[in-house]
Structure 1
Amino acid sequence: MTYILLLVGFALLIKGADLFVDGSSNIARLLRVPPILIGLTIVAFGTSSPEATVSIIAALEGSADVSLGNVLGSNIFNITLVVGVTAFLYPLKVQSETIKKEIPFTLLASVTLLILMSDVALQGFDSNLLTRSDGLVFLLFLSIFLYYVIEIGLKSRQNKENITTPKDITWGKNIFISILGLAAIIFGGNLVVNNGTEIAYSLGMSETLVGLTIVAIGTSLPELVTSITAALKKESEIALGNIVGSNIFNILFVLGASATISPLAVNDKVFIDVILMIILTIVLFIFSRTSFKIGKREGFILAVAYIIYLVYIIIRN
């Protein structure tokens, strides 16, 4: 029964995120917001909402390893498998703004996480902890990022050619779809955390491993589906913007909100995962600079990197 409830939870997360993204994207179009802004904010926030729900619930229930492991696992999954599979199916074009500002901002958020969680090494404390003040620092960084994105949106709106005016999209329907999707995400998130943790204990797995694998992959499925769909529709701006934006939201909003609500104890094992996430973000930056696109070869390398990482963390447990 536990396994069935876990699958039901994942199904609700995926369908809920799908509805939330559709409804929110249409609302953004009604507001006449350009595609890059949709990818970086509405879609990124929508596809990150499962991670947010799961991590916040886990933090409230005292499962800090699941909360932190979920974010790190999801970000590594996004950079490697989501970008990899998406680029392998259809090469992703990369905008110069993404290379100059958005990917470096993801790197900044990752390095900030490493610094804030290194209490033993940097401050000589007895244990590593993401405190409420650390959470507020993340939320402050998030507000800076949102200010930057809104500025992009306002500049883009001046160019009327980049804005498509919707014809058959209504406010009421899309607000309802968004609320319904969010409700499914919250309920599904509850099922995933409770049943995923129960399965972990029964199999002798650590909470960290469950957070990095089962929960992380499950909550990252919306990013995978959304990015592949966007790439196949030749909407590279939304595809890559969704991935980069999701990673920024995962660290700054998800961990920021989780740590602010309930301080998170940091397992020593996850330091390797944070360092790997930083290295992979640098690799993504390098790949993005090659001809301003991420092609099939780079996509294949990133996908293989995730398989190697998955094998490593399973052996490590």
Structure 2
Amino acid sequence: MNYLLLLLGFVFLIKGADFFVDGASSISKKLKIPPMLIGLTIVAFGTSAPEAAVSINASLNNSNEIALGNIIGSNVFNILLVVGVASIIKPINIKIKTILKEFPFMILATIVLFILGNDIALQGNQLNQLSPGDGLILLCIFGVFLYYLVEMAFLTKEVEIENDSNDIKEQSILKSSIIGIVGVAGIIIGSNFVVESSSIIAIQLGMSETLVGLTIIAIGTSLPELVTSIVAAYKGESDIALGNAIGSNLFNVLFILGVSSVINPIMVDSKMLFDILFLLGATFIAYIIATTKKTSSRFEGVFLIFLYITYMIFIIIRN
């Protein structure tokens, strides 16, 4: 029954995110908001909505290991498996602005997360945790990133987003609002199902909540990013696949962990510090691949997937 609830939770999360994006995008178009801004904010947040719902819900229910494990696991999934699969489908041509701005910003966010969560070594505390103060720091950095997105939306002449304005169905504000509300309700219901069922499954299988968060929940909540990137790659818009992964990772670390730790301090297990370092290393590898030839080949895509499989085997054995 718990496995059925977990699967049902993922369905609610993903479909809820779809409805939310459709409703919000329609309202934004109706209000004449620039289409690029819609793509960089609403669509980016929409694909990260499952992670947000699960982690914030887990934080409210004191399941902190699930909250943090979900974010780290999702980010590793995005940078290795999502980008890897997209590269195999069609080599990704990296745009120079992605290399110079978004990629380093993601590396910085991961480094900041490692520093804030390493209280024992750096501050001599008895516990590693992301405190409400740490959460506010992450949210402040997120504010800077959001300002950059808004500025880029208004100043950039080339519009390169996954949700072009012509693809947005313009409906009445009332209908769009109802669709958006239904989406939010689906996200909330789905997150409840996922957190509660996964916690029970972890106990039954003798797995830690951290492992469940890093594997089952992370993969389930990252499905929107995977589907979006695969579709973009098939359409020849391969750069969107990388941009989607980077944008989602930034939302996950800065916004979701920021809000979650403000709600309730998140304890950081020493094992999780290794996972954060692995995420940092994976991001550096992807960055090196992007800067060498400004493209990600199929061979490099296979290599990224191999790294992800190796990491999964390691954390399962570690449990």
Which residue of structure 1 lines up, in the alignment, with residue 289 of structure 2?
A: 287
> Counterpart of 1:269 in 2: which secondary structure?
helix
Q: 1:296 and 1:197 mapped to 2: Cα distance? A: 37
Which residue of structure 1 lines up, in the alignment, with residue 194 of structure 2?
A: 192
Does residue 169 (structure 1) correspond to residue 142 (structure 2)? The answer is no
Segment drifting more, 141-150 vs 81-90: 81-90
Match of 1:229 among 222, 227, 231: 231
User: For the Cα contact (< 8 Å) 2:26–2:169, is it kept in 1?
Assistant: no
Q: 2:50 and 2:35 mapped to 1: Cα distance? A: 25
Where do 1:58-97 residues align within 5 Å?
58-97=58-97
Which residue of structure 2 lines up, in the alignment, with residue 109 of structure 1?
A: 109
Q: 1:5 and 1:57 mapped to 2: Cα distance? A: 16
**Identity rate, percent:** 51
Shift of the alpha carbon at 1:292?
2.2
| Aligned amino acid, residue 309 of structure 1 | Y
Q: 1:67 and 1:279 mapped to 2: Cα distance? A: 21
Change (3 A) 1:7 1:107: same
Q: 2:125 and 2:168 mapped to 1: Cα distance? A: 59
Shift of the alpha carbon at 1:221?
0.7
User: For the Cα contact (< 8 Å) 1:43–1:242, is it kept in 2?
Assistant: no
Shift of the alpha carbon at 1:230?
1.9
When the two structures are superposed, what TM-score results if normalisation uses the length of structure 2? 0.92
Which residue of structure 1 lines up, in the alignment, with residue 12 of structure 2?
A: 12
Which residue of structure 1 lines up, in the alignment, with residue 254 of structure 2?
A: 252
User: For the Cα contact (< 8 Å) 1:15–1:184, is it kept in 2?
Assistant: yes
Q: 1:274 and 1:128 mapped to 2: Cα distance? A: 13
Change (3 A) 1:5 1:123: same
Which residue of structure 1 lines up, in the alignment, with residue 310 of structure 2?
A: 308
| Aligned amino acid, residue 293 of structure 1 | T
RMSD of aligned residue pairs (Cα, Å)? 2.1
Shift of the alpha carbon at 1:201?
0.2
| Aligned amino acid, residue 271 of structure 2 | K
When the two structures are superposed, what TM-score results if normalisation uses the length of structure 1? 0.93
Q: 1:207 and 1:214 mapped to 2: Cα distance? A: 10
| Aligned amino acid, residue 284 of structure 2 | I
> Counterpart of 2:270 in 1: which secondary structure?
coil
Which residue of structure 2 lines up, in the alignment, with residue 267 of structure 1?
A: 269
Q: Deviations over 1:32-90 (max 9, x none)?
A: 5355x555422221111111110111111111111100000000000011111111112
| Aligned amino acid, residue 170 of structure 1 | Q
Change (3 A) 1:167 1:188: closer
Which residue of structure 2 lines up, in the alignment, with residue 49 of structure 1?
A: 49
Change (3 A) 1:299 1:119: same
| Aligned amino acid, residue 305 of structure 2 | A
List runs of 5+ in structure 2 lacking aligned partners: none
Q: 1:9 and 1:229 mapped to 2: Cα distance? A: 23
User: For the Cα contact (< 8 Å) 2:48–2:248, is it kept in 1?
Assistant: yes
Shift of the alpha carbon at 1:288?
1.3
Shift of the alpha carbon at 1:25?
4.3
Q: 1:71 and 1:180 mapped to 2: Cα distance? A: 25
Q: 1:202 and 1:75 mapped to 2: Cα distance? A: 26
Shift of the alpha carbon at 1:22?
3.5
Q: Deviations over 1:226-271 (max 9, x none)?
A: 1111222223343222111100000000100000010111111101
Which residue of structure 1 lines up, in the alignment, with residue 142 of structure 2?
A: 142
Q: 1:60 and 1:188 mapped to 2: Cα distance? A: 15
Change (3 A) 1:243 1:204: same
Q: 1:98 and 1:231 mapped to 2: Cα distance? A: 17
Q: 1:9 and 1:129 mapped to 2: Cα distance? A: 28
| Aligned amino acid, residue 234 of structure 1 | G
Which residue of structure 2 lines up, in the alignment, with residue 218 of structure 1?
A: 220
